[in-house]
Amino acid sequence: MTYALQAKNELARREESQACCRVAELTAFMRLSGNIQISQQRFILQVVTSNPAIARRIFTLFKQIFNLNSELLVRRKIRLRKNNVYLIRISEAAQVQEVLTRLGLMEDGVLTQVMSKAVRKKKCCRRAYLRGAFLAAGSVTNPENSYHLEIFTDYQQQAADLVSLMKTFSVHAKIIKRKNGFLVYLKDSEQIVEFLNVVGAHTALLSFENVRILKGIRNRVNRQINFETANMNKTVKASVRQVEMIHMIEHNIGLHALDEPLRELARLRLANPEASLQELGDLLHPPLGKSGVNHRMRKLEKVCERFVKKNQ
């Protein structure tokens, strides 16, 4: 089962006790996955989904809000995965008009794209509408792979309404135009977490957060390893260069010609080629800090440079 399907199944089984929120959620279902067909001069209202849990929820909402038994049809796809498609249908003209009017999809006998004020007015209804929109036409990728949540809609006005509702919860979605519609999407992990919290997918949210935390820990560990590896490589390269430099001094004038502090450091470097400057400083008598060791190394470099210039 995909992560998106787990999240949707959790939401589809969520209890909704408030009548106003049921209306808001069903309104979102109708706007994003519903359609109206005209057959023999009468309207047929239907909602389509491929998820049986969502189909049961829609059927139940019609029953709770309008006290009517809608038709529930099951059709088998003949292409791709051949999974079932569920159609929740209302065919009686009076019932269709009642549903459309009550859900704010029709005003004075004319269909409208304008979102009803009742949905926008109450915070709980805005949550319910977003939940219905996600269940109807939403998807979220597995956080193990990437961070992406989207809701598809046929109409730009519906996309703008979704963005507007999300914004009231400090969730800032973007819209991108697709060939056959519009996509409202989130790519920021914290914003996706906030959206899941808004719609009530708390189990999916905890799962998302666990993955996000583990990925964060892995990334920090990898950065630390990379940092330490880079420092180690830098130390090794510097050590190799310093050993070559000391061998050149030894070959030309001998280490005995150096001042005692430089001679002590040169011999320690030859004896400890893998040591860092700090570690070399701890071996000196008396011990010396990293900057002090670096200062002596620069003096050895100047001694070496004289022989390099003579040989050029």
Q: What is the pLDDT of residues 234-263, one digit of tens each?
A: 878 888 888 888 888 888 888 888 888 888
Task: Report how far residue 95's alpha carbon sits from residue 134's, in angstroms, rounded to the nearest whole number.
Answer: 26
* Poorest-pLDDT segment among 18-27, 67-76, 255-264: 67-76
Give the residue from 28, 100, 106 showing the smallest Cα distance to 66.
Answer: 100
pLDDT at residue 90, rounded to an integer: 87
Which tens digits make up the pLDDT trace of 185-205?
999 999 999 999 999 999 999
The answer to whether residue 312 scores a pLDDT higher than 60 is no
Query: Percent of the chain, pLDDT > 90?
Result: 38
pLDDT at residue 37, rounded to an integer: 78
Tell me the mean pLDDT in the region 133-154.
94
Instruction: Return the SS3 of 40.
Output: coil
The answer to whether residue 43 scores a pLDDT higher than 80 is no
Contacts of 209 (CB under 8 A, 6+ apart): 193
Residue 63 CB neighbour total at 10 angstroms? 12
Give DSSP secondary structure letters for 172-224.
--EEEEETTEEEEEE--HHHHHHHHHHHT-HHHHHHHHHHHHHHHHHHHHHHH
Task: Report how far residue 235's alpha carbon sits from residue 99's, in angstroms, rounded to the nearest whole number.
Answer: 75
Question: Are the beta carbons of 84 and 52 closer than 8 angstroms?
Answer: yes
Q: Which pLDDT band holds residue 308 (cuts at 50, 70, 90)?
A: low
Task: Report how far residue 62's alpha carbon sits from residue 26's, in angstroms, rounded to the nearest whole number.
Answer: 8
Instruction: Return the SS3 of 284.
Output: coil
pLDDT at residue 309, rounded to an integer: 65
Which two three-digit tokens encode residue 197?
Answer: 């919290």
pLDDT at residue 40, rounded to an integer: 66
Give the residue from 33, 114, 99, 9 showing the smallest Cα distance to 61.
Answer: 99
Whole-number Cα distances in Å, 226 to 217, 220, 230, 233:
14, 10, 6, 10
**Type of residue at 281:** G
Q: 228 or 88: whose pLDDT is higher?
A: 88
Residue 150 parent element (H or E): strand 149-153
User: Please, what sign has the CA dihedral across residues 218, 220, 224, 227?
Assistant: positive
Which two three-digit tokens encode residue 24?
Answer: 């808001």
Which ranges of the chain does DSSP label H, i.e. alpha helix?
3-12, 19-33, 52-66, 93-102, 117-121, 123-137, 156-167, 189-199, 202-252, 260-271, 277-283, 290-311
- The full set of domains in the chain, from first to last, is 3-200 (3.10.28.10), 222-311 (no CATH)
Q: Residue 148: phi, psi to the nearest 5?
A: -160, 125
Q: Residue 222: phi, psi to the nearest 5?
A: -65, -40
pLDDT at residue 124, rounded to an integer: 94
